[in-house]
Amino acid sequence: VQLVESGGGLVQPGGSLRLSCVVSGYTRRTFCMGWFRQATGKEREGVAVIDSDGDTSYADVVKGRFTISRDNPRNTLYLQMNNLKPEDTAMYYCAVGPFEYCRGAYWWNYGLDYWGKGTPVTISS
């Protein structure tokens, strides 16, 4: 399984970015896919997930600002990030795992099974 993220960069506060992640080699028809982030000196945290039914879940700190989506034919996961804040600065990772990992708080507590190498996001003026 391979996951390759792109789209990170340096943005001013209040700005927007769209992250992309191309997933290959994950053969399960049902799945949970998501975005996670890790800031320097902090633990990894969940950002948002989407399952193969299209249901989504978000961390409270990004609700209303971030939108997760996927393009099935292209096996691509997206994260649209608006109204970015300095505290959103982190390395952002995409991940994929079994469908049931999207249920409840499992993804938040334990993450998913396969991970990309990350794309850096810096919010600064």
Among 18, 11, 36, residue whose Cα is nearest residue 115: 36
Q: Say which range, 8-12, 62-66, 109-113, has the weakest mean pLDDT.
A: 109-113
Beta-strand (E) ranges in 12-110?
17-24, 32-38, 45-51, 56-58, 66-71, 76-81, 90-97
Torsion over CA: 57, 59, 60, 64 (sign):
negative
- pLDDT tens-place string over residues 94-122: 999 999 999 988 998 899 999 999 999 99
Q: Is the pLDDT of residue 74 over 80?
A: no
Instruction: Please tell me the predicted confidence (pLDDT) of residue 73.
Output: 75
The CA distance from 43 to 48, in Å, is 16
